[in-house]
Structure formats: C-alpha cells, structure tokens
Structure 1
Amino acid sequence: MLQHLLRQFWHRKFKNILLSAEILLAFLLVFAVLAMTLRYLQLAQLPMGFSYQDVWTVEVLARDKGTVENDPVFYEKLKQGLSVLPEIEQLAFVSSAPYTPYSWRTNFYLANSSAIHKVYSLFAGDHIFDTLNMKLLAGRWYSEVDEGKTERAIVITAQTARNLFPGHINLGDVIGNIVSDDGSDLEKRSQLKIVGIVSDFRLHGELEAPENFAFMRFSPLSSERGVAVLLLKLRPGTPRNFEAKLNQQLRLIQSKFGSRIETLSDLRQTKLQEDITPLIAAAVIAVFMLLMVVFGLFGVLWQNTTRRIPELGLRRAVGASSGSIYRQILSEQFILTSSALIIGLLILVQLPITGTFGDDLDWPLFGLASVLAMVVIYGLTIICALYPAWRASRMSPTQALHYE
C-alpha cells in the first residue's frame, strides 16, 4: 500500500512540489508565531523585579532643551517641595524610568581578568528600592553611608552576580567584591563595590528577557552627571486628577524647568502594545497564508479527485472498499504534508543548534513550538482532504465507465 502511495506521489511530483512549498511556507509562519507567543508567555511568568502600581514618573524638561545639571540645591529643593504633598509616600531620582526605551550599557571588569561583562545599568538615588518595592536577596541597599567613599557602591541583580562570579553558589559571598566599569583609560576606571543583590530586574517590562543589570548610586553631592527623572510612590487610591495639583507644585518649586508627568501603568500599557504589535502582524500574515493554503489545497484535491475517477472507479470494480479509497486519499495527503514538514524541521532545527536567537529559542521552546505547528498544519490539511476523500469513497464503478 505504501509503495503504491509513493508511486502515485511521484507521478504527480511537479504539482505536489508546489503544494509542498505552500505547506512549508505556512508551517514556517505558524512556527514563528507560536515560538514568539510561547516566548512571551514564558517571559511573562518570570518575576519583573519591581512593582509599578501607584508609581508616577516626572521628567524634568529644560526649557532651553539643554541637559539638567547636577545641582545639589536644585535636587534638594525638588525633594523638599514634593515631600509636603501628603499623596507622595516616597520619591527617587533616576536616569530613566521603567518601560521607557532608554537604557545605559557598560562593561564590567574583574580584577586580574580581561573578560568583558556587558551590564545594563540605571543611575538611581538612595530611595529607588523602596519606591519600586524591590526585594533584597543579600547584602544591603546603598545609602548615605556610602557618600564620599573611593569605591562607589552598587547593587546588582542575582543573574549578574552568577555571571560575574560563576563559582559562588551563595550570593552572600559576592557581597564586598570589587569590579570596575569601562573606560578608555585603564587608570581612570571607577572602582565599584557590590553592597547588595536584588532579584532579576527587567527595566523594559514583562516581555524583556532578563539581562545583567546594576544600580549605580546617584548622589547630588558627588555624581558627575545629573538625572532628569523622578519616580513618585503615591498612596494607594490616589486619583488621576492629582496630576493637576502635582503640576502646580512643580511650577512653584522651579519655574525654569518644564515637566512631563506619566504613570508607570500607562507606560507599561504602551510598552506592551509596542512589543505585541509585531506578533499581531505576524499572526495576521500567518492566518492569510493558512487561508490561501486551505482554499488552494481544497481546490486541488477536489480537482485531483475528479480527474482520478477512472483510477478510483477501477479500484472499486476490482473489489476495493469505500473505506480503503477514503484512507488512500487521506494517506496521500498525509505523505504530502509530512514531506513539507520534514523539510521545514530540517531548516528550523538549525536555529537552536547554532544558537541564533540564544535563550529566546531554546530546545524546550523549539520542541513545543514545532509540535504545535505540526499539529496545526496536519489538522488543516487533513480537514481539507476529508470531503474530497469522502466524495471519492462514494464513487461507483459505473461512474468510471461513463467518464469521458
């Protein structure tokens, strides 16, 4: 039976190649959509490292489009002026707010090692951890006690600690180690002391893969550059119309700077929409491609069944049952689909083997996306073959004798 099916497949090889190419392309698109969806679901389950609820951002805007200088008087005035508002529980100065597209990447070096460790960082004031309700895993938060010390205090994430010191099983052993940041001049590299370790922190939200991350202490008294963003932790239930009161207070504090106020909830929603848009676009393309394959495949199978009336009628005349005809049509479709999927898998398996997408497409995710994509393609192609197969199985020998 299998030999007969393969012979029939080979006799119609040119038409089958075109159909296999359509099925192959549909399989690749479905795999891509499923792999992206599964990766997003995987990332959404990971801890984000901070809390965005009831946190607002205030970006200080220089009216002359210049930068905000590191002026201790200015920052103290902002802090004192906003602290009088009862709705504000805590505030912190940062170089950029979560969910915004800004980030700073630097290189970390260990003593007596030339290895380069790429680390994303955020310059933040002493109260950033309370403002974002972050969890300390080992050590302590940096604070005013670190002011004026030669070695600048930093807090790193657990992933960064494991990558910098792979031999340390206990995170507490990493506390107190010294690293240096990048710089063109070896002698001018800053010495950074690890004083605390927090859970993995994803600055750009739920759909960002965890990266090496470090918090660099910002101090109005000693930092080289200023920061232009404030994070405000508000009392739960603070209404949105508090923005007008906050704007008024900011104008009273400092009139030469403008401000832009947003909530982390709104920034999060915008970032999620931006991240999901490519997935939606890919899904729409995949759906249209699948519809083209379904309609094309159904039409071709219908046409093939009509053209094969003499062959199928002859099989019925020599004793073939309607069930065997039905299974033959479905089996032929199964072989056609399988040939396309095998080629597709041979192409896609190169991705995890070469590590093209790194952790975004590891072997478990690849395996699950492949299986689901195969189920979708097999299901659609078999559904397309059901009616033509049923129609062929109902054919009688007399139809073949009268066929012209």
Structure 2
Amino acid sequence: MMFKHLFKLIWNKKKQNFLLMTEMLFSFLVLFAVFTLLVYYYDNYKKPMGFEYQNVWVISYNNAYQTKNADSLNNYYGILRKSIKAMPEVRELSFCSFNTPFSNNMSQGRVTYHKKEFYHMNFYTADDSYQATMNMQVLEGRWFNKTDVVAKDKPIVINSDTKEQLFGKGTAVGQLIVNGDDKDKMMRVIGVVQSIKVKGDYAPAGLGLYQRADTGSLRWFGKIMVQVVPGVSAAFEGRLYKTMANYMKDSNIEIEHLTNKRTSINYFTLIPMIVLSIVGGFLVINVALGLFGVLWYNINQRRGEIGLRRAVGASGNAVSSQLIYESMILATLSLIVGSFFAVQFPLLNVFDLSAGIYISAMLLAIIFIYLLVFVCSLYPGRQAAAIYPAVALHEE
C-alpha cells in the first residue's frame, strides 16, 4: 500500500517529476559513457606491458648512406652496430622499422586466414636481436634467426592478440597466413610473443605481426633500439650521440628514452577521458543541485501535508523516509529507461568492446546515480522530519 501511495503522489506531480527524471536519465547516459571509458582504460592498464622499456632508448637517424650494393650496405651498418655494441653501457641493440613503441607511427595492413579477413594488422619489421633488446616474452615457437633466410615461406612472428583472433586456443606455429589478397605471398608463423602495449598503458596492444629484416630493409630503416645498463649517466648519452654523428656525418641524430615517450603518450591517451570526466562532473553537479532544489521546494509546498501526517502520529523518520523513497523511485524509473539504451551497446557490439566493459560501466553508473539521489535526499528529508505539526497546520 505504501508504494501504491508513493506512485500516486509521484503521478500527481508528473510534470515536475518528468523533468527531474529526464535530468537523471541524461546523467546516467553521460556517466555510462564516462565509466565505459574508465573501465576500458583500467582493463588495458592491468594487462602486462609485454616488454621492458625502462632501460631502452630509441635512436632516430636519416638514412644518409645510399648505395645499391647490398654487401656495402651490410658492411656500413655492421660497422655501426659493432661500434655501438662495443660500448660497455650497451647490452643489446636492434635496427627496426619506424613504428617503435610509444610513437604515433603506424604501418597497418590486412591479412587473410581461411578466407577470413583481419584488418588493422600492425606490421613491424625488425632484425634478429629485436626480441632480446626489448626483453619480449616468447610464448610459443621462437624468434627470428639466420636460418630463416632460406625459408620457403616468409617467416613471421605474431603477438598473442593476433594468435587469439586467428587461431583461438589452437597452435599457431606452422600456420600459413596470406598477406592481403595475394596468395603468392604466404607467411608462415614461427613464433608467438606476448603482445606489447605500443600505445601506452591505457591503450590496447592491437593485432601485431613481425617480419624479419633483410638487406633491403636497411635502405629505409631509421630507428635503432638500444638497451643500456641501468643507471647510465648523461655523459654516456653524449658519447653515444657523438659516435652516431661522427659515423653518419650528414644525418640528423636524435636520442629518446622510452620512459619519457611512455609518459607523453599516456597523457595524450588520457585527454579524452579527462574531457569527458569534466563534462560528466558538471552534469552531475547540475543534477545534484536540481534534485536538492526540487526536494527543498517540495517540502515547502507540502508543509501542510507533512504537518497533517505528523499530527496523526507519523514519526519524523517516516516522513523523511517517504521523501527518500519518492526520490529513489524516480531514479529507478529513469534508470530502467537508461539501462534499456545502455544494454544495446554490448548487444550490438558497438565500438568492438567486450560486453564485460559495458556491463561494468552500466552497474557503476547505476550505483553512482542511486548514491547521488540518496545523498541529495538526506538533508531535505531531515528538514521535513523537523517540521512541527502545529506550526505547519497553523501556516495552512
């Protein structure tokens, strides 16, 4: 009977309550978007980075040495490799393509497996020492070595995300993948490595495919990954720069630390979340003030009703609870409508996110709205409970 009475009171003020419910509905939808982004970022953050970046530097250079002679090219970069590797502060180094970790550079393509196409595949080209330089974890098979030169099919290494997408729980090593639509360009998987989050802590690793560098690759390479011993000084960075500049006299040399690049790209990734959180925060404050004002107005308009209830024996807690219940019912009606729209996202697989992210965000938004409504109802409810029956009835 109590809830029937509450619904009747709500219906009698349907215009005023409709506006309040509309505010709650839009607040829920904005909070759902904010929490979806937060849960998505947290889900990515808790996944392993996939490699050790703390003591890895990136050397960028212009390819100043131009020659059509393959032996001469190999010899040129072989001498440079030995010069850098001879430094006691250097543990390992690797020549690789320009899409290094924590950079905004990408090289994407499409692969086909059993007539199923996979888009947005990140292609990386690296030499045999890349895995050791990055301390990448090999989960299945092996990394590249010199024996791959004579392989019939082009050898490739894929990351764990690609393995899951293409082969599920099956074995990846030995499988053949088609590069685009060209069936003559068959690629054979020789290993699987842990996916590395090349776009920072909060972004997904994405599909990744590694190709072995050859002599032709040296013509367009412009990056060297260098793993140094912990705690090297700035003086060593100066000597490393001088070594590169003296050897590649017409080249522009730049040395960057992956730790600094990671910090920068994390800030860039967090910008959408910060903006959306600010918008959501302003909306929540607006709804809280609106809800608080409406409840306060209701108390002043219903002083006679509240005084009569107190006069016939209703306790202050009962009066306070009634106002809180009314607010919670309005919130529930708004959340039912909002949840109907929110549940469409996992059902329709919008933005290709897992259903768990949407469900978690929806539950967090529901809890937040309920807490907001409850907190905003407490003080007006206590004010209503403090109304004296005689004073209220005298005013009427």
Matching residue within 357, 366, 384 for 1:365: 357
Unaligned ranges ≥5, structure 1: none
Tell me, yes or no, if the aligned pair for 1:297 and 1:384 is still in contact at 8 Å: yes
Partner residue, 2:275: 281
Partner residue, 2:16: 15
Tell me which amino acid in the other structure corresponds to 2:139.
L
Secondary structure in 1 matching 2:362: helix
Partner residue, 2:343: 349
Distance 1:20 1:63 in 2: 66
Tell me, yes or no, if the aligned pair for 1:61 and 1:260 is still in contact at 8 Å: no
Matching residue within 337, 361, 371 for 1:379: 371
Distance 2:385 2:50 in 1: 61
Secondary structure in 2 matching 1:266: helix
Tell me which amino acid in the other structure corresponds to 1:100.
S
Distance 1:152 1:304 in 2: 75
Partner residue, 1:133: 135
Residues 44/25 of structure 1: CA separation in 2 closer, same or farther (3 Å cut): same
Tell me which amino acid in the other structure corresponds to 1:106.
G
Matching residue within 107, 116, 125 for 1:104: 107
Q: Give the deviation of 1:149 after TM superposition.
A: 4.0
Matching residue within 163, 179, 182 for 1:181: 179
Matching residue within 383, 391, 396 for 2:383: 391
1:88 equivalenced with 2:90 (yes/no): yes
Tell me which amino acid in the other structure corresponds to 1:276.
L
For each residue in 1:44-99, what CA deviation from the matched residue of structure 2 results, as whole angstroms up to 9, or x when unmatched? 221222111100001113689x9xx9843442243133223221111111112101
Matching residue within 193, 206, 211 for 2:206: 211
Partner residue, 1:237: 231
Q: Give the deviation of 1:348 after TM superposition.
A: 0.5
Distance 1:34 1:240 in 2: 42
Secondary structure in 2 matching 1:93: strand
Q: Give the deviation of 1:255 after TM superposition.
A: 0.7
Partner residue, 1:58: 59
Tell me, yes or no, if the aligned pair for 2:63 and 2:219 is still in contact at 8 Å: no
Tell me which amino acid in the other structure corresponds to 2:309.
R
Stretch of structure 1 that moved more, 153-162 or 275-284? 153-162
Residues 87/216 of structure 1: CA separation in 2 closer, same or farther (3 Å cut): same
Partner residue, 2:309: 315
Partner residue, 2:262: 268
Distance 2:163 2:62 in 1: 35
Tell me which amino acid in the other structure corresponds to 1:177.
Q
Tell me, yes or no, if the aligned pair for 1:329 and 1:389 is still in contact at 8 Å: yes
Secondary structure in 2 matching 1:345: helix
Tell me, yes or no, if the aligned pair for 1:150 and 1:191 is still in contact at 8 Å: no
Stretch of structure 1 that moved more, 250-259 or 372-381? 372-381
Q: Give the deviation of 1:148 after TM superposition.
A: 4.7
Partner residue, 1:79: 81
Q: Give the deviation of 1:229 after TM superposition.
A: 0.7
Distance 1:176 1:347 in 2: 45
Matching residue within 279, 288, 291 for 2:285: 291
Tell me, yes or no, if the aligned pair for 1:63 and 1:258 is still in contact at 8 Å: no
Secondary structure in 1 matching 2:62: strand
Secondary structure in 1 matching 2:202: coil
Distance 1:196 1:52 in 2: 21
Stretch of structure 1 that moved more, 128-137 or 315-324? 315-324
Residues 177/394 of structure 1: CA separation in 2 closer, same or farther (3 Å cut): closer
TM (normalized to structure 2)?
Answer: 0.91
Secondary structure in 1 matching 2:201: coil
Distance 1:386 1:164 in 2: 54
Partner residue, 1:400: 392
Distance 1:120 1:229 in 2: 17
Tell me which amino acid in the other structure corresponds to 2:122.
Y
Tell me, yes or no, if the aligned pair for 2:140 and 2:191 is still in contact at 8 Å: yes
Unaligned ranges ≥5, structure 2: none
Partner residue, 2:196: 201
Tell me, yes or no, if the aligned pair for 1:27 and 1:341 is still in contact at 8 Å: yes
Q: Give the deviation of 1:372 after TM superposition.
A: 2.2
Distance 1:115 1:367 in 2: 29
Partner residue, 2:26: 25
Residues 303/204 of structure 1: CA separation in 2 closer, same or farther (3 Å cut): same
Distance 2:64 2:286 in 1: 55
Partner residue, 1:121: 123
Secondary structure in 1 matching 2:242: helix
Structure 1 segments of 4+ aligned residues over 6 angstroms from their partners: none
For each residue in 1:261-293, what CA deviation from the matched residue of structure 2 results, as whole angstroms up to 9, or x when unmatched? 101101111111111121122222222221111
